[in-house]
Every structure is written in C-alpha cells, then in structure tokens.
Amino acid sequence: MKFTKMHGIGNDYIYFNCLSQMPKNLSETAIRLSDRHFGIGGDGIVLILPSNKADFMMRMFNADGSEGKMCGNAIRCVGKYVYEKGLTSKTSLSIETLSGIKYLTLKIDYNTVSAVTVDMGEPILESRKIPVRFGKGKVINEKVQIAGGEHSITCVSMGNPHCIVFCDDVKGLDLEKIGPDWENDKMFPDRVNTEFVKVVDDKTLEMRVWERGSGETLACGTGACATAVAAVLCGICQKGQEITVRLRGGNLVVIYSENETVYMTGPASFVFEGEVADLKTEALNV
C-alpha cells in the first residue's frame, strides 16, 4: 500500500489514502512503521477516510499503537494532502475526527497549500471532562504535588487532555526523564500530554511537549492551542490576539477568540512517498 510521509512543523506522520482500502491491524501497523530505525519513522500513522458527516474523516494512531482523538498538526497535513492530491477542489473543508468535526481553511499560493487555519472549537475546562482527578471544577494555575514535586498547572482539553506548566527555562529540561512521570500520573486517568512553557512576552510563548503515546515531539498543534488558552486563563496573554507559540519544529499562531473558539494557523509539508509491500489491507465498504 502506498504512503506519504508529511509533517506539520516537525510533527511527522505516515499518511494513507484509505478512501477505498485501509491497512489491517492498525495498532500493530503504527508501531512497526513508526519505528525510526526499522520502519519508515514517524510520530504515528494517519488514515484519510470517507465520511458521511464531513468531507473526509481522519483517524490517527500514535507510535505506541494507541489511537489518538485529534492532532492539530496532522489535520493541517490532511488538508494539504486532499487538496494537492486532487481529492477535493474545496478550500474550506470539514474533517471528522474522534473529537468531533473540525473546519479547515486552506491558504492557496500558486496551486499549493501554503498554510492551513483550523477551527479547533472551544476548549474543555471542566476537570471531569478533560479528564483530571481534582477536587475543583477547573484546574487553572493550581499548585499540586505531581511528578515528585510541587508545580502550578493548568489543564485544558482540545479534544485530548493537556497539562500546561509555565517554567523559567524549557531548553534545559530532561523530558526523556520527567515526561513519563507526568504522562502517567494518577491525576490523569487517560494519561496526559504535558506542555512545558516559557513566557517570552505577552504575545509569544516558547513550548516543549511530551505527548502521551509518542514521547517528546517537535510540535503539537492541540498542545499549542491548549497552551494559548492556559496563558489567557492565567492572565499572561489576552483573548482575541494572535499568540505565537514557538515549538522545536517551528511556530504556530493561535487565537483564543472572544466567542471562546480557538483558531490555529500553521504550515504543512510533504516529505517523501513510498510503498509498504507487505502491508495487509482490507477493502472499505462505502
């Protein structure tokens, strides 16, 4: 089966056109192909599927085989893929995900998608819906004992759970050591993505991310959105303004609007294409 390797500011996935057929054993396939030494290499796999609710459906599986609900960087790549591969001529798209339907606006320059803006919907702030085990309805700049120390955290869901920690320095953190402790803390029944964030100014944030199921990645779109929301909730940034989130793979621009909707804008890129000769597939009944 043919595949396309793509990335959104370094958050790289292996994409499959599954409009007529799809790989079998999706979790096993994600683990095998994501391996950067013995596979293609990536943060996981993404399936582009037909949908009876939207223009297309996106399913994604992390490098550890777990299925994710949503990925902001991956969905931008889906928008670029379906437009530039001729699967649609629309520049405004709806994409079905496990966290609901997301709406994309494609910026076209010379028949090429140069940037994608994603309507990420409203953030979820209620502890039980994120989910977070916490005695209050919301977790906003709360001091808690976690990962072996006391930290101030803010928790937000953008379709998947995020824990945001504002720090004086993010470059010196040993995420390989501390990341698993955050991801698997008992506060988070579904595990959690953790964003470690340095405030550069009231419109600029520097972020590193430990993603559940993938470890540290170069970028996380939903994490950037959750971080911008947390910055507004903590009085660091303002609603309605453009917030630049600097990640290891590049920058995203996020707006937490006055009507509570979060918008994220960033690029998407093709890397290479190939074929997995021994990948077992099954036909879709559409």
Residue 234 falls in the annotated catalytic set: no
pLDDT tens for residues 131-175? 999 999 999 999 999 998 999 999 999 999 999 999 999 999 999
* pLDDT at residue 48, as a whole number: 98
Please, what is the average pLDDT of the chain?
96
Q: Report how far residue 63's alpha carbon sits from residue 86's, in angstroms, rounded to the nearest whole number.
A: 28
Measured N-to-C along each axis, helices 221-233 and 72-84 cross at an angle, to the nearest 10 degrees, of 130
218 C-beta neighbours (distance < 10 Å), count: 18
pLDDT tens for residues 209-253? 999 999 999 999 999 999 999 999 999 999 999 999 999 999 999
Q: Report how far residue 104's alpha carbon sits from residue 108's, in angstroms, rounded to the nearest whole number.
A: 13
* pLDDT at residue 286, as a whole number: 61
Q: Active site residue: 18, 167, 220, 237, which one?
A: 220
User: How would DSSP label each residue in 28-60?
Assistant: HHHHHHH-TTTSS--SEEEEEE--SSSSEEEEE
pLDDT tens for residues 94-143? 999 999 999 999 999 999 999 999 999 999 999 999 999 999 999 999 99
Q: Active site residue: 71, 77, 163, 237, which one?
A: 71
Looking at residue 197, what DSSP letter applies?
A: E
pLDDT tens for residues 62-91? 999 999 999 999 999 999 999 999 999 999
Residue 220 falls in the annotated catalytic set: yes
pLDDT bracket for residue 15 (50, 70, 90): very high
Question: Is the separation of the CB atoms in 180 and 169 below 8 Å?
Answer: no
pLDDT tens for residues 35-48? 999 999 999 999 99
* Average pLDDT over every residue of 2-25: 97
